[in-house]
Each structure stands twice: as structure tokens, then as C-alpha cells.
Structure 1
Amino acid sequence: MVDTVARDRLEPGGRPGEPANEPRHDAAETTRASEAGLAAPLLSLRNVRRAYTNTDGGPATEVLRGISLDIAAGEFVAIMGASGSGKSTLMHILGCLDRPTSGHYQFAGHDIAQLGADELAWLRREAFGFVFQGYHLVRSLDALHNVEMPAVYAGASLGERERRAAALLDQLGLADRATFRPGQLSGGQQQRVSIARALMNGGHVILADEPTGALDSRSGAEVVALLRELADAGHTVILITHDRAVAAQARRIVEIRDGQIVSDNGVRAPVAPNAPRTMIPASLDPRRFRAAMAAGIAHTARPWTDMREAFAAAWTVMWTNRFRTALTLLGIIIGVASVIVMLAIGAGTQQKVIAKIASFGTNRLYVVPGGDVSRGPGGVLTEADVRTIRQIPHVTTATPILRNKVTLRAGNVDSFVNVMAVNTDARRALNWNVARGLFFTDQDERNLATVILLGKKTRERMFGDANPLGAYVLVNNVPFQVIGELEEKGATSGDADDDDVVLIPYATGARRVLGTMNLNWITVLVDDIDNAEAVTKQIGDALEATHRVRDFRVYNRAASLRAQTETQQTMTIMLGLVAAISLLVGGIGVMNIMLVTVKERTREIGIRMAAGARQRDIQRQFLTEAITVTLVGGLAGVLIGVAIGLALLHWEVPIIFSVRAMLGAFACALVTGLVFGFMPARQAARLDPVTALASD
């Protein structure tokens, strides 16, 4: 059974993650590399020592005390010793999970001390396969994905690694357990899964640390038999055990005690012409080791594949811890929804205020008689000034206004009201539309027609709910016919109530009612609010030139509107910032949960590092998990924010949704995940593999 596995691993270019552009090596070249490996030891230790610093400040504890050991390719070696003898520490050094304090360790003739973190990760996934006493399977993954793990970090395609993992599970008798998680498997089955994982990238050197320690005698015997089959198939097998009966299954027994080798039977597998090929590929040939390593480190999955794998792993973790994930999402959801709703309310309120102001004119200027100094000349505005203003660029229209109090009588109802004598341009200049009836015309102006339009409040006071159109009223005892009613504009204060007013033609008012041509003010309409300041200056200059004195004032209503708009915008921003605080709190929650997650999954991190994960792989995985949480929370927050906004619209709260605000809130959520997830991800990536594997 395992012979078939071994033969599958020997196919040229068949290792998952092997660069597509590397030259293919035939069996003869692989055999030559293997023979070279037997001539020069594959693993060589010289006077290796390992000491651990005591955290309480005491002297360092020396676990290995000058180990010298050579292991050739294809050997089946048992390293035997009692608990605390240093055999597991030796295995960690052999498997490049740990470094010696002093001494030299060479793999394929190359000094391991010269290799960086990424190079050691490549060597672990290229050369080694680990089988641990505690199985060390990732509990959130099923058997198939646990086996696939080394190939993921080797950059193998999804289809290729699924086929290889399924084949390995099938050949190890676990085809019907591929979708089972570790908690659903027996101890023997879990250990078989770990052996399949060790073989996923070839398993050229199998390091088995007490593989039978947690198994019953029958399962333990099956695991040892599997290791013998792997050794017979040409794998280099290093078995760590305290059991002499298990060690006796190996061809060579090295006994270690108190960190020193006390015996070595020195038995080697003979190199005969008909001996099985060893499992060392050409990539581990000392003559091309460095080049193969450089190519292997450079060869990873495509960015999209990396991203897909990271998000798939993150989603699995989130789904496994659904309740905790939901609590974490809540902070992001509240933050995003708050930002969207608050900005929508702010924008809606701002538009409502601006619309209210707009009913009184936004791009209007007002020219009134009287100088800037109270003791200065009073000044007079005339129709000639209106004509002068109309000649100024960007002026749409200039409207003369005569205003005074008059006595208005309808039947037996008298009222003292404001009358405004205006021309036909007033309809546009003053934004005064007719609710019913007609506005007077230029012909009415020329004919001094006695026609009148009533404001809403004036009509209610004089006629109640009756339709006033066609009725006659007396304005200072001059009969006028009602031809229209003005739209409601809303009251302001005092005499400025624009709904308690009547309008009459300018010429009629000047000559037949008010008896004066001196204007109360001139209303100027500017084509664009951005031109208001320039037009204000030009009006001042032009009128000063004709009056020869500055006996007037020009009020820029647009400037006032702009100031009020900026105030509203500031208030909207303040609302958004207040809401963003909840998003910040949600981000802190993400960081807190991620820190807890790193602590809880420390062993998983060690397992992934043993399978060949680089520091950046670990960092990317945990960072992706944080981003995934905020991505889901951001999307949910947008939907909930829109739902709350629609509900507020139903209750007639002014709401204006902004796509930019939604995208901004969503982007902020992603940035929050990136920023607050970086520290936990970096902490996870910097964990020591041995310390991580030993965690509870």
C-alpha cells in the first residue's frame, strides 16, 4: 500500500508546488542524487548543543550536550531515550523547527545556520514530514484539508492537491473519512491522517516523535508497520521513542541519555544495485541545493489563489466560532450603520435647511439706500440704478422694489398689510410662484392695471377659505381686482412675513398707490452663486461712479447662505465623527478577539509552520481573518444602515443616502480590520515553532 504512495511521490516533477518552469529530472538523475546523498550524509550534526534560558533569571538549562550524528538518505533510524533525555529537542533541530545554541547542523552538505526563516520553511515543506505523538491536526479542518496543508504552502493548485490528498487517504484506508474532522476520528485514524500529511509533499525525511505514545497497542503496531513500509519504500525515517520494542523495528538504534548519545549500533541500509531508490529528489542534491531553494521560495501560488485560500480558511474559522464571530461583528455593524445613518440624517437636514433658505433666494444680492456710516448720506435708489445694474456681467435680472404699509379692505374686513410694488421679473427674482390664478404681465405694468396678488395669510384673513379670484379689494381706497394667490413661503419674524403681503404692478404702485419713485431696495439675481462676490463689487463700483458717493449698501445673500451651508456641513461631519467612534470601538474589539484567537490557536500556528508555512503565510492568514470579519460586518452594517434610514424616511425624518458615505464607511471598516488585525497577525507570525507546538 505505502509502496504505491512512495512510487507516486517519485514521479519526476510530481511534487506539489514544484515550479512549472523547472527542468524535469528523470529517474536516473534522481538516483544519482540519492547515491550522492548516501556517500555524504544527508543529515549531519557536529557537537550540537541546545540550552534554554530560564525565565526566572537562573542559569541556562542545557538539554543537548555535544551531539554528533550522521544520517544517510534512506536510513530507518530510531532515536531512543527516556523522557527528558533531549530526544524531542534533537528532532526539532533535525526538522529545522529549532536551531542549536552551538555546533553545526548540515543538511545535504549545507549549513542550516546560514538559512533564513523563509529558507527553513521551504526546507521543511520540501524535505520533511512530521508525525507527532499528539497528532497535531488542525481541529477546524477535515481530514482532507489537513492532509492538503503542506501543498497549500508549496503553491500547488487546488485540483492537484485535492487529488493527491484523496489518493493518500485512500491508500492509508481513510477514503471514507476524508470529510471527518479530527474530533470525529479515532487516535489511530488521526495518526494515519498525520502520516498522509507528512507524505503530501513527498515526505523525503519522516520525523516521527513518539508516534505510538497516545495509541493503544494495536493502533501503535499499525503505525509502526506503516513507518517500516515507508522506510522500505526508500524514505528516510527517523523515529523518536522511549519504547525499546518500538525502537527495535528500526534498522539503526541511537540511544540518547542526558543530552548525549550513549550508544549507536551503526547499522546502515546497504546500497545495492537492486535496492529501492531513496526518496531524496534531485532538488535536494547538494550540487543544486541552493538553486532549487531559491526557485522554491520564489514559487508560490498566484495572488488570487493565495487570497482564495486565505479567505476560505478565515471563513472556516469564523463559522467554527460562530457565536464569538457574531459578537465581534456586532461592533463593526453598529459602527458602519451608525456612520451611514448619521451622515444621511445630516445630509437630509442640511438639504432641508438649504431648501428653506432657497425659498428666500440663494444667489440674490440686495441693494438698499443708505451709506455704510450712520451719519453718512441717506441716498436714493431709482429706476436708472436698476438699468445700470442690469448691464453688469453675470446679473440675470434686477428688480425694483417699493414696499409700504397700506389699508386693505374686502367687504367689511379691513386689514393693515404690507404692499410690494414689483415688476414681472419679481416672480423669478423673488422665487414667488402662484398657487392659483395668474401673475400680472408686462402689459398690466404698462397700462397701470389695478390688479393684485394676495399672500396666503392675507387671503385667509380677508376671505377665509373662499376663493378670492375675481373679487375686488380696496388698497388705500383704490379698487384692485384679485388675479392670483401666492404660494406659501413660510413666516420669518415681524414685518418680514412673506405670507402676509400683497403684490401689485410696479408702475401702478408708484403712481397710483404709494406716490413715489424712490425704491426701497433693488433685488439682483446672479447667474451663479460663485460669481456673487465679484458681482457685489462691480455693483458697488458702478453705482458709486454714477452717484459720485457711496450712499447705498450691497448685501450678499449668497455669502450668508454659504456660511450657513458650511455650518451644516460641519454639523454633518461632527455627526459622522461621533458615529465613527463606534467603528473605532468595533476595531478595538476585532483586535482583542484576534489576540485571543492567536493565543487559542498557538498550536495550530506551530503545526502550519511545521508544514512549511512562512511567517508571511501565517501573517496573511490571521490578517485575512480580521479583514474577513470586518468585510462581513461592513456589508451587514451597510444593509442595516439602509434599512434604518428607510424606516426613518417612513417616519418623515429628512434622510439623504450617499453612495460615497456608504462606500466610505465600508472602506473604513476594511481599513479598521487591516489596522487592528495587523498586530495580532504579526504576533502570530513571529511565534517560535517549537514553543507553538508545545502550547496547550
Structure 2
Amino acid sequence: MEKQEQKATPLIRLDNITRSFSNGDQTLQVLKGIDLTINEGEFVAIIGSSGSGKTTLMNLLGCLDRPSSGDYYFRGQLVNQLTKDELAHLRRDAFGFVFQSYNLLPGTPAVNNVELPAIYAGQPPAIRRTRALELLAKLGLSDRTDHLPGQLSGGQQQRVSIARALMNGGQIILADEPTGALDSKSGIEVMQLLKELSAQGHTLLLITHDPEVAAHADRIIEIRDGEIVSDQKSAAVDNPKARLPLPEAAKEQPLIDIWESTKAAFTALHRNLFRTLLTLLGIVIGVASVIAMLAIGDGAKNEIVERISSLGSNLLLVRPGAPNQRGRWSIATLVPEDVQAINLEVPNLIAAIPELTGTKTIRYGNRDKSTGMNATSASFPLVRQWPVAEGVFFSQEDEDLYATVAVLGKSVADDLFGKQSPLGEYVMAGGTLLQVIGVMSERGASPMGQDQDDVVFIPYTTGSLRIFGQRFLRNVTVAVDDVSQMDLTQDKIFELMLARHGVEDFQIRNMASLIDNVTATQNTFTLLLGSVAAISLLVGGVGVMNIMLVSVNERTREIGIRLATGARTRNILQQFLIEALTISAFGGVLGVVIGLSTAWLVGYLGTAVYFSVFPVVLAFSCAFATGLIFGFLPARKAAHLDPVKALSSE
């Protein structure tokens, strides 16, 4: 009983189907209440003149379009209620299309065109390739499998489209004017193929305006002005035909879908190589700019911070003069007793040292040199973290005895003595003969760009009495032991100095705060550079979106072909997203290479640069995110194209 009911269920049934199209304020009704039943195995020709509605009817029958009203049943199932992806499944599993203009993917070999429906059915590559080759061989194209559509004649292209229609079984073959673009001989051959397919049990729906072509069918339906005016069957229609088995439902295979979408994306990018390279350019410039700018900005920041840190990040500098008072270097407020009091009364100190500085002319033999002279204490190397390279630094005993000894900076030693060792030699400074007992290690430039090695160190007592002739200090330098308690130590020194002097005639500079301020300023500068570069990346992303939108518009027909052969929304979305991500990822890699190379070249030419992983990861991640974000809109537009409109685009 169930088998009889199954036989009684028609393959296709249309009940009062209409289709209207809106054009501004006007509505054009193309189909007007179509009632039609088609059984399995029938060879039906739908004939009518241009504009009669036959192509619109074919689009509805092939689930490429939806009716405006009425009901469409396929094997008893109401098609009107199916989603876009369910319609794609139906086209993939049940229908095969043979178009007048062939609708083969350009730049794609014949065998790959034939494989297309099987890709969306999830068939393994080896199985579908074997079947595609078998179909092409049966259709006499075994020697044309690798030919592109442009290398095939019209008849050969139509055979390829027939093979594609049969790839997933081709239960129902819809042929829209299959001989319209062919010469007479090729047209006869194509019609013979269609008749053979009908004899094998395929249901054929032939759309034509030619009565001679329609005469090959077992049933001829004439449509005029959107209505069926006649429906005639030949006697042969009652002859029994083999029934094709229903295709097995395709299994969902997300990984295969992604892999096939990736291959299609790479094929499309390769086919439009010049446009791909232009799109890459925007991403490459953006990523390279971000990396190079941040490397240069970080390099400048690190160089300045390193120079300041070389003075000691644990230092407090006590200087004469009230806050914001000009000319403070000439103000006599700091005395050696202040240094002694700080050392005795303030906890958490390594040491506090006096510094009395000025510029003097040093003579050795017949060589003179104007250099800085610093009268300080024996704790200077410890406080300033500046070791002696040769000899020794003067001691506390030298300071107590007013010893006439000197320790030279590296630049002074080189200028006066060259390659000769200065140890034990005597130099003249301000009429005082000083014996050289040591040479400091090389220090380099100060944060202000001055040569820190252009200096001579002498005991404070000697400098105060014999060289400068004054007791007042240029500054007091304090080295803090526990940096975490630096602010508290600064407050203690402030209270002590205020108690000793009675007024605030001094200033205390915290080197750690200075480094923090400089770092914050440089971070702002680096952020500014990075923002400018990020704008380049944003512009590159907009370029990706524009190019992808152009690509969607240019490839609308290709998208229509894929939709007609069973591609679902996600298949199209994946393909175009992968194209955008591929461009962005590859552009990101090139940008990283170029950006690092540019930064290296800048560093090689003498500008400070600093390489770190974060800017590279940031720039590449932004490039990838750019492809995802800016590629989504074009990909979504492509995925939601209407199959009929896509196929009809030029």
C-alpha cells in the first residue's frame, strides 16, 4: 500500500503559482496561476515565445527562485517553507542545470567544472575526480578534461555542463535553451544526449522557443503570457522507463567544506594576481609602518631612559636655590655640613656625596685641554655606580689630607696622553700640580648629549681650597638603598634640610620620577607614531573591503553558478572570507618582514631602534582582524546573492 502511495505522489506539483516583479511603483506579473504536475521520468518541453514566462517558470521549478504566491510541492514536500540552505541542498541533490550560455567557471578546467556539485555534496576528491573523468569520457571529452572553457567549442562546453548536471546523479535535468547558442550539428548531438538521459530514467525539463527542439520531448507544455495554454502528451510517455534511485543524503563535513573553500579562494586570488597584489599593498604598508614606527619610537625612548638611568635611578639630587628660582647655580646655600648631616641622620642611604663642579684648563707637557672638574668624595664611584678602569679612586684619607691627586675621565686621558698610561703622571690645574692615580671607565653621552667622560675628579677638600676657592656645593647627590622607600627618604631629607636652613632654599630632584616622566612622555610619542601607522593599516583594510566588493560584483555570475550547483550560504561566505583573510595574512607577513627590515636599516644608519615581539604580534593580529572585519561585508553580500539575479548578471 505504501509503495502505491509513493508512486501516486508526483515528483513536482505546482498549485496556483504566481510570480511578480516590482519595478518602482509598477508591478509586473510574469506567471499567473500556474497549475502543473510532473512525474518522475518524464521528458517535458516547456515552449513559449520570448517574454512568455517560461524561463521564470524554470527558475521556480529548479528552486533558483521563489513564487510570489501559490504552493510548490517536491515529492510531496512544500518547497515554499524551505530555507535558503535547504533549497541549496535540493538543488545539489536533485537538480542538474544545463544553461544556454553554459555557465562554466572561467579559468577553471573542464574536469573541475564538472566536479563542482560534488564538492558541495562533500564527496572525497579522489571519488569525485574519478566520476568527473568518467562522465567526460562518456560524453566524448576524455581528451579535453584539462581544457579551459575558452579552449572548448560551444558544443563541447555544453557537454561539460551536461556532465556537471549529472555529477550528483541528475535526477531532474533542467535544460534552458540548450541548443540556442549551438550550430545545427552540435544542437542535434546535444538533443540526442538528452534523449538518452531520458531513456535512462532522468526527468528532463526542457525550456525552448523552438518547436523542432520541443518535438523531441514526450510532453509539450505551451506557455503564453504567464499562463499554460496547452499540455500535450505523446503516446511514448506511457512506455515504462527505468527509475533512478534517490541520491543518498550528503553528510555534513565542515573540514572538507573549509578546505574546498580555501582552494577556491586561492584559485580566485591567483586568477586575479595583479588585483591581489594591489590589495596586498595597503596591508603591507600599514603593517610595515606600525612595526617600523614602534621600533623607532621604542628605540628613542629606551635610549633616553638608558642615559638617564646611567646617572642612577636610585639617586636624589639636592640643588641650591628655591623652587622655580633662576640662576640657582650661583646661589650659595649648600655646604659640606649638609652632606654630613644627611649621612648621619637620614636612614635608607648608601651614601650622600658633595659635588663642586666647574670648567678648568688641564695641562700635561705642552698639551692643554679645557674640561670639567668635579670635586667630590671618595664614595663617588659607589653612589654614581661608575667604576674605575685603571688605577684607583682617591680615598677618604686623601680627602682628609687635602691630597693633590686626580682621577681622569676616559676622554681627558685619551686627549692628553693618547695611548700612554697616565698613571703616576702629573697634570697642572689652576696652578696646582695633581698626580693622576686612576682613569674612570667609559661612560658615554649624558641625557643632554654631553660627554660624561670629559671630566677630572679630585677630592672635595682639595678642590674647594686649591682649585675653586669656595666651600659652597654645586649639588649633593644621595644614593638610596631601598628604592621602594625612595619617596619617604626624599621627605626625610627635605625635613632635615628645611630644619637646618630655616627656609626652602634648595630643591630635591627624584631621578626615578624623572625617568617615569620621560618614559611617559616617550610612550605618548610612541603611541602617536603607532596611531599614525595604524591609520595606514585602517586605510589598507578599507582597500581590502573595496577590492573585495569589486570582486563580488565582477564575479556575481560565478557566485550564481556555485549557488545553482548546490553551494550553501556558508560555502560562499567561507570562500570570500578566506580570500580576504589570505590577503590580510600574507600582507601581514610581508609587512612584518619589510617593517623589521626598515627598522634594521634605520638602526644600521645610526638611529636607535628597539625590536620586541609585541609590535610584531600586534601589527600582524590587526592585519588579520582587518581582513576578517573588512572582508565580512563583501563576503556576506556574496553569500546572500539571489541565484537568479546572480546568473543573469553580465
TM-score where L is the length of structure 2: 0.88
Q: 2:137 aligns with which of 161, 170, 188?
A: 170
Greater Cα offset, 578-587 or 433-442: 433-442
Structure 1 position 439 matched with structure 2 position 393: yes
Specify the alignment match of 2:281 in structure 1: 330
Whether the aligned pair in 1 keeps the contact of 2:361 and 2:369 (CA below 8 Å) is yes
Greater Cα offset, 516-525 or 450-459: 516-525
Going from structure 1 to structure 2, the CA distance change for 1:110 and 1:550 (only over 3 Å counts) comes to: same
Specify the alignment match of 2:544 in structure 1: 590
Q: 1:382 aligns with which of 323, 336, 339?
A: 339
Going from structure 1 to structure 2, the CA distance change for 1:492 and 1:100 (only over 3 Å counts) comes to: closer
Greater Cα offset, 90-99 or 421-430: 421-430
Going from structure 1 to structure 2, the CA distance change for 1:564 and 1:253 (only over 3 Å counts) comes to: same
Cα distance in 1, alignment partners of residues 617 and 534 from structure 2 = 14
Structure 1 position 349 matched with structure 2 position 300: yes
Structure 1 position 42 matched with structure 2 position 8: no
Specify the alignment match of 2:108 in structure 1: 141
Q: 1:62 aligns with which of 7, 29, 38?
A: 29
Specify the alignment match of 2:593 in structure 1: 639
- Give a deviation string over 1:220-247, Cα, whole Å, max 9, x none: 2222222222222222111111222222
- Cα distance, 1:138 vs structure 2: 0.9
- Cα distance, 1:164 vs structure 2: 2.8
Partner AA of 1:300 in structure 2: E
Greater Cα offset, 83-92 or 548-557: 548-557
Specify the alignment match of 1:319 in structure 2: 270
- Give a deviation string over 1:366-404, Cα, whole Å, max 9, x none: 234666698999575132422444x32xx5554444556
Cα distance in 2, alignment partners of residues 568 and 237 from structure 1 = 75
Cα distance in 2, alignment partners of residues 528 and 150 from structure 1 = 74
Going from structure 1 to structure 2, the CA distance change for 1:258 and 1:363 (only over 3 Å counts) comes to: same
Specify the alignment match of 1:576 in structure 2: 530
Q: 1:158 aligns with which of 101, 125, 132?
A: 125
- Give a deviation string over 1:333-389, Cα, whole Å, max 9, x none: 222222222222222222222233333333321234666698999575132422444
Partner AA of 2:182 in structure 1: L
Whether the aligned pair in 2 keeps the contact of 1:343 and 1:572 (CA below 8 Å) is yes
Cα distance in 2, alignment partners of residues 427 and 270 from structure 1 = 111
Whether the aligned pair in 2 keeps the contact of 1:34 and 1:280 (CA below 8 Å) is no
Greater Cα offset, 321-330 or 376-385: 376-385
Q: What aligned pairs does 1:185-224 form with structure 2 within 5 A after superposition?
A: 185-224=152-191
Cα distance in 1, alignment partners of residues 242 and 413 from structure 2 = 111
Structure 1 position 665 matched with structure 2 position 622: no
Going from structure 1 to structure 2, the CA distance change for 1:275 and 1:313 (only over 3 Å counts) comes to: closer
Specify the alignment match of 1:655 in structure 2: 609
Specify the alignment match of 1:360 in structure 2: 311
- Give a deviation string over 1:99-149, Cα, whole Å, max 9, x none: 111221111112211111121111111211111111111113222221222
SS at 2:50 equivalent: coil
- Cα distance, 1:482 vs structure 2: 0.6
Cα distance in 2, alignment partners of residues 356 and 163 from structure 1 = 71
Q: What aligned pairs does 1:268-287 form with structure 2 within 5 A after superposition?
A: 275-281=241-247
- Give a deviation string over 1:624-644, Cα, whole Å, max 9, x none: 212222222222222222333
Specify the alignment match of 1:20 in structure 2: none
Cα distance in 2, alignment partners of residues 527 and 232 from structure 1 = 100
Partner AA of 1:177 in structure 2: R
- Cα distance, 1:529 vs structure 2: 6.3
Whether the aligned pair in 2 keeps the contact of 1:74 and 1:279 (CA below 8 Å) is no
Whether the aligned pair in 1 keeps the contact of 2:572 and 2:638 (CA below 8 Å) is yes
- Cα distance, 1:161 vs structure 2: 2.6
- Give a deviation string over 1:531-561, Cα, whole Å, max 9, x none: 6445433544576789998775431022122
Going from structure 1 to structure 2, the CA distance change for 1:543 and 1:174 (only over 3 Å counts) comes to: farther
Specify the alignment match of 1:289 in structure 2: none
SS at 1:675 equivalent: helix
Going from structure 1 to structure 2, the CA distance change for 1:345 and 1:75 (only over 3 Å counts) comes to: same
- Give a deviation string over 1:32-78, Cα, whole Å, max 9, x none: 998654311110001111121124x3x32221122111011222211
Structure 1 position 564 matched with structure 2 position 533: no
Greater Cα offset, 244-253 or 465-474: 465-474
Whether the aligned pair in 2 keeps the contact of 1:382 and 1:517 (CA below 8 Å) is no
Specify the alignment match of 2:562 in structure 1: 608
Cα distance in 1, alignment partners of residues 496 and 188 from structure 2 = 108
- Cα distance, 1:95 vs structure 2: 0.7
- Cα distance, 1:604 vs structure 2: 0.9
Greater Cα offset, 274-283 or 181-190: 274-283
SS at 1:240 equivalent: strand
Whether the aligned pair in 1 keeps the contact of 2:573 and 2:638 (CA below 8 Å) is yes
Greater Cα offset, 97-106 or 330-339: 330-339
- Cα distance, 1:163 vs structure 2: 2.9
Cα distance in 1, alignment partners of residues 248 and 543 from structure 2 = 50
Cα distance in 2, alignment partners of residues 417 and 282 from structure 1 = 95
Structure 1 position 629 matched with structure 2 position 596: no
What residue ranges of structure 1 are gaps of 5+ in the alignment?
Answer: 1-31, 284-295
Partner AA of 1:256 in structure 2: I
SS at 2:606 equivalent: coil
- Cα distance, 1:603 vs structure 2: 0.9
Partner AA of 1:572 in structure 2: T
Going from structure 1 to structure 2, the CA distance change for 1:355 and 1:457 (only over 3 Å counts) comes to: same
Q: What aligned pairs does 1:387-536 form with structure 2 within 5 A after superposition?
A: 387-389=344-346, 391-392=347-348, 395-403=349-357, 410=364, 419-434=373-388, 436-440=390-394, 450-455=404-409, 459=413, 467-474=421-428, 479-486=433-440, 487=442, 489-490=444-445, 498-505=452-459, 521-526=475-480, 532-536=486-490
**How many percent identity over aligned positions?**
50
SS at 1:206 equivalent: strand
Structure 1 position 109 matched with structure 2 position 76: yes
Specify the alignment match of 1:93 in structure 2: 60
Cα distance in 2, alignment partners of residues 691 and 33 from structure 1 = 41
Going from structure 1 to structure 2, the CA distance change for 1:268 and 1:95 (only over 3 Å counts) comes to: farther
Greater Cα offset, 352-361 or 97-106: 352-361
Cα distance in 1, alignment partners of residues 583 and 481 from structure 2 = 51
SS at 1:569 equivalent: helix
Whether the aligned pair in 2 keeps the contact of 1:638 and 1:666 (CA below 8 Å) is yes
Cα distance in 2, alignment partners of residues 510 and 205 from structure 1 = 110
Cα distance in 2, alignment partners of residues 223 and 530 from structure 1 = 90
Greater Cα offset, 89-98 or 659-668: 659-668
Going from structure 1 to structure 2, the CA distance change for 1:362 and 1:300 (only over 3 Å counts) comes to: same
Going from structure 1 to structure 2, the CA distance change for 1:313 and 1:276 (only over 3 Å counts) comes to: same
Going from structure 1 to structure 2, the CA distance change for 1:370 and 1:333 (only over 3 Å counts) comes to: closer
- Cα distance, 1:271 vs structure 2: 8.1
Partner AA of 1:580 in structure 2: A
Cα distance in 2, alignment partners of residues 33 and 510 from structure 1 = 120
Structure 1 position 678 matched with structure 2 position 629: no
Whether the aligned pair in 2 keeps the contact of 1:130 and 1:194 (CA below 8 Å) is yes
Going from structure 1 to structure 2, the CA distance change for 1:471 and 1:268 (only over 3 Å counts) comes to: farther
SS at 2:136 equivalent: helix
CA RMSD in angstroms comes to 3.5
Partner AA of 1:317 in structure 2: A
Greater Cα offset, 650-659 or 315-324: 650-659
SS at 1:60 equivalent: strand
- Give a deviation string over 1:399-427, Cα, whole Å, max 9, x none: 44455677866557788865434344422
